[in-house]
Structure 1
Amino acid sequence: MPEPAGNVFRVMLRMQIKPGLEHDFEKVWLEVGDSVTTHPANLGQWLSRSTEEDGVYYIVSDWTNEPLFREFETSDRHLQHRQKLHPYRSGGSMTTMHVVAALSGAAS
């Protein structure tokens, strides 16, 4: 049975990390992550490393709605967060979406 998705707004970042800095990037991401997860509109975030492309990471974060994410995105809090991660990046992109449905797997 599908779970209701509500108005969840999902953001997916694709980040290319400079060669040799992957471990440091992961460490700093964990250290500064609470600047995102302590925002009242944030539902959680995940860091994943690609198994297909060296130095590529995906950051997924879920938000209660798009307007509150956009408010966070332009805040000083977010600017400080980005500045701490920027030295590790050589490129990246952002994709946004509305969650339409969610299915739980048997192992959950």
Structure 2
Amino acid sequence: MAEYEGPVRVILRMDIAPGREAEFEAVWLEIGGLIGAQPANRGQMLVRSAEEGEGQVYHVFTDWADEPSFRAFELSAEHVEHRRRLRPLRIGGGMTVTRIVHDLRRPAPAAG
């Protein structure tokens, strides 16, 4: 598929080695802050499966301004180092790059 010029959401599944969940979350949080500083990154979220028997399954949702920016970051030396740090904690997973077609998020409630 040709690179898409609009916003994309990258969805990662990360299967974490049993007993290493807390370590994974700490490393992901540190790396997530670095990724969030990328100009084209629009935010990220780490979620943990609530399904029976999937306590070591996490999903990362990360939004990017466009696919070329994401692909450039994905291949950067900085991100290769991020993946190297996470590799010993992972026992499986996968990645899907998606095009954002509609975004129906609710605005945050007003404070007060």
| TM-score, structure 1 as length reference | 0.88
Aligned to 2:76: 75
Greater shift after overlay, 25-34 or 71-80? 25-34
Deviations 1:62-103 (A, max 9, x none): 000000100001000110111111110000000111100111
Cα distance change on mapping 1:9 and 1:16 into 2, 3 Å: same
Q: Which amino acid aligns with 1:34?
A: G
User: 2:21 & 2:41 partners in 1: Cα distance?
Assistant: 25
What SS is found at the alignment partner of 2:14?
A: strand
Instruction: Tell me the CA shift for residue 8 of structure 1.
Output: 1.3
Q: Which amino acid aligns with 1:100?
A: V
Instruction: Tell me the CA shift for residue 35 of structure 1.
Output: 2.3
Deviations 1:40-60 (A, max 9, x none): 110011100000112000001
User: 2:32 & 2:100 partners in 1: Cα distance?
Assistant: 22
User: 1:107 & 1:36 partners in 2: Cα distance?
Assistant: 23
Aligned to 2:93: 92
Aligned to 2:44: 45
* Unaligned segments of structure 2, at least 5 residues: none
User: 1:59 & 1:10 partners in 2: Cα distance?
Assistant: 10
Give the number of aligned pairs: 103
Aligned to 1:18: 17
% identical aligned pairs: 49
| TM-score, structure 2 as length reference | 0.85
Runs of 4+ in 1 over 4 A off after TM superposition: none
